[in-house]
Amino acid sequence: MGSFIEKMLIAALIAIICILLGVVIIMFDYSGFINLRSNFPEAMRNTAIAKEYIKLAKINSLSPRDQQQALLEDKKQYVERLLQRVKLESLKIHEEKQKLENLFKIHEEEKEDFKNKVKRFKNEEAKIAEERENERNIELEARLDTLAITYAKMDPAKAAEIINLGDAEESFQILKRIKPKTLGKILESLDGPKAQELVLRMQTK
C-alpha cells in the first residue's frame, strides 16, 4: 500500500514538474528568449488559440516602440475586418430589402392585373347582358309586329275577344302597330274596364 502511494506521489511530482517546465518554456518563448513557436506542427499553428498566441508572442518579442506600432497595426486590421463585416451585413440587408420591394411590386402588379381582369369581366358581362336584352327586344318587336299583322287580318270582333283575354301592356303594344282604320273597328268591339283603359291609352299615345 505504501509503495503504491509513493508511486502516485512520484507521478504527481513528475506531472507538476512537467507542467512547470512547460510554463517556463512558454514564458521564454513568449518573451523571445527562445523561438519554440516556429516549431509548432502545422495543424497546431492553424488553431485559433495558437494563432493568437503566436501573434502576441511576436509582438511581445519586439522593442517597446515596435510593440506599439504592431498593436496599432493589429487594431487597424481588427477595425478593417469589423468594417468589412459591417459592409457585408449592410449588403445582405440591402439585398433582402430589394427582394422585399420586388415581392411587393409583384404583389401590386398582380393585384392591379386582377382588378383589370375583374373590370374586363364585368364589362364583358354587361356587354353580353346588353346584347341579350337587345336580342329579346328585337324578338319581342318582331313578335308584336307579327301579332299586329295577324290581328289586323282577323275579324275585328274576334281580334277584340283575344285582346280582352291578353295582357294589357302587350295588347296596347300590338294595337298601336295597327293602321287607324282597322284599329277603330277593333276598339269598337272591345268592352269592359280593359277596353276603356286601352281606348284611353290609344287616344293619348
pLDDT at residue number 36: 56
Q: Which amino acid is at 111?
A: K
From first to last of its 205 residues, the chain has per-residue pLDDT tens of: 557 777 777 777 877 877 776 666 566 555 555 565 555 556 655 676 666 666 666 666 666 676 677 667 778 888 888 999 999 999 999 999 999 999 999 999 999 999 999 999 999 999 999 999 999 999 999 999 999 999 999 998 898 888 888 888 888 888 889 888 888 888 888 877 777 787 787 777 6
pLDDT at residue number 52: 65
Is residue 163 situated within a structural domain? yes
3-class DSSP assignment, residue 85: helix
Is residue 66 situated within a structural domain? no
In sign, the C-alpha dihedral spanning 117, 121, 126, 130 is: positive
Domain boundary among 25, 42, 61: 61
Is residue 148 situated within a structural domain? no
Q: Which domain holds residue 36?
A: 11-61
Is residue 50 situated within a structural domain? yes
pLDDT at residue number 122: 94
Domain boundary among 43, 61, 79: 61
Is residue 145 situated within a structural domain? no
Domains contained in the chain, number: 2
Query: What is d(CA 79, CA 2) in angstroms, rounded to the nearest whole number?
Result: 61
Q: What's the gap between Cα 107 and its chain centre? A: 4
Is residue 126 situated within a structural domain? no
pLDDT at residue number 114: 94
pTM: 0.43
DSSP code of residue 107: H
Is residue 204 situated within a structural domain? yes
Is residue 106 situated within a structural domain? no
Domain boundary among 61, 76, 94: 61
Residues in Cβ contact with 61 at an 8 Å cutoff, skipping those fewer than 6 apart: 31, 32
pLDDT at residue number 1: 54
pLDDT at residue number 129: 93
Query: What is d(CA 189, CA 88) in angstroms, rounded to the nearest whole number?
Result: 101
Per the structure block, which three cell numbers stand in for 145?
309586329
